[in-house]
C-alpha cells in the first residue's frame, strides 16, 4: 500500500509557502474545479470588547487568503468559509460578525466571491458518526464536495493537541459539544473527537504553524513564532506529523491513537512519506498540561505560593467550553483574593464526574451538571451553586462572596476586557505581528 504524503514547508511571506505545501502534498489532485469547497479555519474564540493574543490560537487570515488564491487559480468558484465561535451568550450574533469583519473575512468575501457563514445561523444535520456517537453537524460541510481543514499547530489542555480532527468539533452544534464532554468512560471526549471525520467529505488538511501554541487552546497559552506550514490529503497523517512537530509522540494523544486503531494504521508515522522539511529539524517541545499539586487540588504555582484552605481539583475531560471559561476566572479571582490566610476550607468542583469530599465547610458547584448531580449530596455541609448553562458572571461573583473569598471588585468589573492582560507578554516582540490577522 502506498504511503500517504505530508508536506512540511518553512513559511516565508513572499515565497509561495502555502502553494509549495499544497503542491508537494498533491493537495488539489482530486479536486474538481466544479466542486463545492468548504473551508474550516480555527476561530476558537473572539472578543469584541478588547484586544487579545491571537497568535497560535486563531488561523491566520493571510494563510486563508493564500488558500483562496490557489483555489481560484484551480478554477473553483463555489467556496464556503464556515466557523462556529462559542460565546458566553448562545444568542450572541454580534461576536461572530465582529470577528469576520476584523479578521478580514468580509474583504475575502468580496474579493474572491466566497460565502462566509456563522454556522450557528445555518442548518445542522444529525449524523451517526459511529456506534454510540451521534452529533448535529453543519449541513453545509456535510453536503460539500471537498473540505479544506485549516487548524493551528497547537496543544490542548484536555486533548493534548488540537489539530485537524479536533478542529472539526467547531462544526457541531452546542448541545452536541456539551454531549462530547460526557461522563461515559467509553464515549469520552477523546473517543468522540476521534470519530469527527467519519462523515466529512474528502479534502485537504493545511495546518497553520506560522505561530504555534503551548498549553492551548486559547489566549492564556504561550505562543511561539515557528513559521511552519504542513499539508496532507489525509487528516490523520497531518495530525500525526503535526503532533510530532509539537514535540509530542502521537502515542500520547488518545484521540489519534483511537483513529489509527479504527483505520488499522500504525501510530509511528511508518506509513507516511514526509516531503520538504524534516520533522527532526523543526520539532520543538510544546507543553500541553497544566501542572497541579496537593493531590491535584491546586495549580503548582498556587501550591508554591502557600495558598491554603481551598481545594480546586484539576479539570477533567468532562468540563465543557462554557465552564472552562469560568475555570480561568475562578482561578484568577482566588489568586487575587489570597492575603496570606487560609480560606474557610472551601472546595470547588467542575465537570460531570467530580465528587464532593467529606469534611469541607463549603462546596461550590460550578455549572448545571455539577449542581444537578450533587445538590443533595450528603458530604456537602454548605452548598454554593453556580448553576446555569452557561453560568453567569454574577453567579460566580456571588458564590465566591458566599464562600468568604473576598475578590477585588476590578476582577469582575472588567471581565470582558480581562484577555487584554495577556497581551503584555508579547509587547516589544516584533515577531508577533498583527498583520497576519488582517487583509489589506
pTM over 0.95: yes
pLDDT one-digit tens code per residue, 296-305: 999 999 999 9
pLDDT recorded at residue 90: 79
C-alpha 387/C-alpha 398 separation (Å) is 12
Q: Report the candidate in 4, 1, 2 with the shortest Cα–Cα distance to residue 232.
A: 4
C-alpha 29/C-alpha 179 separation (Å) is 37
Quick check: is 414 in a domain? no
| 36, HSE (Cβ side, Cα atoms, 13 Å) | 12
- Look at the chain and count its residues: 440
Residue 120 C-alpha cell reads as 450557528
| Shared-domain flag, residues 309 and 222 | no
| Shared-domain flag, residues 87 and 174 | yes
Quick check: is 438 in a domain? no
> What domain range is 351 assigned to?
292-408
Q: Report the candidate in 77, 17, 4 with the shortest Cα–Cα distance to residue 207.
A: 17
| Shared-domain flag, residues 32 and 134 | yes
Question: In this structure, how many other beta carbons lie within 10 angstroms of the beta carbon of residue 43?
Answer: 22
Strands (E), 68-202: 78-83, 115-118, 124-130, 133-138, 146-150, 152-156, 160-162
| Shared-domain flag, residues 178 and 63 | yes
| Shared-domain flag, residues 216 and 323 | no
pLDDT recorded at residue 166: 98
| Shared-domain flag, residues 201 and 330 | no
In the chain, the number of structural domains is 2
| Shared-domain flag, residues 54 and 186 | yes
pLDDT one-digit tens code per residue, 128-137: 999 999 999 9
pLDDT recorded at residue 1: 67
pLDDT recorded at residue 89: 83
Terminal Cα-to-Cα distance of the chain (whole angstroms): 45
| Segment 277-280 long-range contacts (CB within 8 Å, at least 24 positions apart) | 277/8, 277/9, 277/10, 277/228, 278/8, 279/8, 279/241, 279/244, 279/245
| Shared-domain flag, residues 337 and 258 | no
C-alpha 108/C-alpha 81 separation (Å) is 10
Quick check: is 236 in a domain? yes
For residue 440, give every residue at least 6 positions away whose Cβ sits within 8 Å of its Cβ, in sequence order, or none. Answer: none
CB distance 309 to 295 below 8 Å: no
Q: Report the candidate in 150, 147, 272 with the shortest Cα–Cα distance to residue 208.
A: 150
* Strand pairing report for 222-232 and 4-10: antiparallel
| Residue-wise DSSP of 198-264 | GGPPSEEEEEEEEEEEES-SSTTSEEEEEEEEEEESSHHHHHHHHHHHTT--GGG-HHHHHHHHHTT
Residue 310 C-alpha cell reads as 481551598
CB distance 213 to 286 below 8 Å: yes
Quick check: is 397 in a domain? yes
CB distance 303 to 310 below 8 Å: no
pLDDT recorded at residue 137: 98
DSSP state of 418: G
Instruction: Tally helices (H) and strands (E) across the chain.
Output: 16, 18
Q: Report the candidate in 400, 289, 387, 398 with the shortest Cα–Cα distance to residue 336.
A: 400
Preceding omega of 250 cis (within 30 degrees of 0)? no
Helix (H, G, I), strand (E, B) or coil at 135: strand
| Shared-domain flag, residues 348 and 206 | no
pLDDT recorded at residue 13: 82
Residue with cell 487528516: 235
| 437, HSE (Cβ side, Cα atoms, 13 Å) | 22
Q: Domain boundary residue among 288, 321, 351?
A: 288
Q: Domain boundary residue among 237, 263, 288?
A: 288
Quick check: is 184 in a domain? yes
Q: Report the candidate in 147, 163, 149, 196 with the shortest Cα–Cα distance to residue 56.
A: 163
| Shared-domain flag, residues 194 and 136 | yes
Q: Domain boundary residue among 271, 288, 305?
A: 288
Quick check: is 426 in a domain? no
Question: In this structure, how many other beta carbons lie within 10 angstroms of the beta carbon of residue 304?
Answer: 10
| Shared-domain flag, residues 230 and 244 | yes
Helix (H, G, I), strand (E, B) or coil at 144: coil
pLDDT recorded at residue 15: 87
Domain CATH code at residue 128? 3.40.50
Low-confidence ranges of the chain (pLDDT < 70): 1
Residue with cell 452546542: 174
Residue 328 C-alpha cell reads as 480561568
| Shared-domain flag, residues 275 and 330 | no
Quick check: is 53 in a domain? yes
Quick check: is 434 in a domain? no
Amino acid at each position: 500500500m502506498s504511503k500517504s504524503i505530508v508536506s512540511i514547508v518553512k513559511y516565508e511571506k513572499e515565497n509561495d509557502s502555502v502553494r509549495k505545501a499544497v503542491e508537494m502534498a498533491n493537495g488539489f489532485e482530486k479536486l474538481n474545479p466544479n466542486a463545492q469547497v468548504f473551508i474550516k479555519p480555527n476561530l476558537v474564540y473572539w472578543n469584541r470588547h478588547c484586544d487579545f493574543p491571537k497568535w497560535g490560537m486563531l488561523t491566520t487570515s493571510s494563510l486563508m487568503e493564500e488558500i483562496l488564491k490557489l483555489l481560484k487559480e484551480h478554477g473553483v468558484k463555489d467556496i464556503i468559509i464556515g466557523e462556529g465561535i462559542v460565546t458566553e451568550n448562545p444568542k450572541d450574533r454580534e461576536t461572530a460578525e465582529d470577528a469576520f469583519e476584523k479578521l478580514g473575512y468580509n474583504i475575502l468575501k468580496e474579493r474572491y466571491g466566497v460565502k462566509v457563514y456563522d454556522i450557528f445561523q445555518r442548518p445542522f444535520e444529525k449524523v451517526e458518526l459511529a456506534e454510540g456517537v451521534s452529533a448535529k453537524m453543519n449541513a453545509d460541510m456535510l453536503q460539500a464536495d471537498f473540505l479544506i481543514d485549516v487548524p493551528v499547530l497547537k496543544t490542548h489542555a484536555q486533548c493534548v493537541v488540537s489539530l485537524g480532527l479536533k478542529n472539526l468539533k467547531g462544526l457541531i452544534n452546542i448541545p452536541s459539544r456539551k454531549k462530547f464532554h460526557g461522563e461515559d468512560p467509553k464515549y469520552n471526549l477523546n473517543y468522540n473527537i476521534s470519530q469527527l471525520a467519519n462523515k466529512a467529505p474528502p479534502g485537504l488538511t493545511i495546518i497553520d504553524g506560522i505561530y504555534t501554541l503551548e498549553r492551548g487552546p486559547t489566549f492564556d497559552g504561550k505562543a511561539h513564532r515557528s513559521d511552519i506550514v504542513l499539508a496532507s490529503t489525509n487528516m490523520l497523517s497531518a495530525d500525526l506529523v503535526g503532533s510530532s512537530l509539537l514535540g509530542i509522540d502521537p502515542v500520547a494523544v488518545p484521540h489519534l491513537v483511537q483513529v489509527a486503531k479504527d483505520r488499522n494504521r500504525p501510530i509511528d508515522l511508518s506509513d507516511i512519506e514526509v516531503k520538504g522539511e524534516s520533522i527532526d529539524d523543526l520539532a520543538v517541545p510544546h507543553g500541553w498540561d497544566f501542572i497541579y499539586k496537593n493531590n491535584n487540588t491546586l495549580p503548582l504555582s498556587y501550591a508554591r505560593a502557600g495558598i491554603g484552605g481551598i481545594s480546586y481539583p484539576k479539570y477533567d475531560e468532562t468540563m465543557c467550553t462554557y465552564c472552562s471559561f469560568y475555570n480561568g476566572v475562578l482561578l484568577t479571582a482566588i489568586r487575587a483574593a489570597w492575603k496570606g490566610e487560609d480560606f474557610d476550607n472551601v472546595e470547588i468542583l467542575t465537570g460531570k464526574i467530580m465528587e464532593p469530599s467529606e469534611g469541607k465547610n463549603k462546596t461550590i458547584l460550578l455549572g448545571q451538571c455539577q449542581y444537578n448531580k450533587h445538590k443533595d449530596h450528603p458530604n456537602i455541609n454548605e452548598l454554593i451553586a453556580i448553576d446555569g448553562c452557561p453560568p453567569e458572571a454574577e453567579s460566580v461573583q456571588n458564590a465566591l462572596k458566599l464562600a468568604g473569598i473576598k475578590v477585588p471588585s476590578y476582577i469582575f468589573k472588567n471581565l470582558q476586557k480581562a484577555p487584554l492582560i495577556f497581551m503584555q507578554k508579547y509587547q516589544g516582540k516584533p515577531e508577533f505581528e498583527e498583520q497576519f490577522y488582517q487583509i489589506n
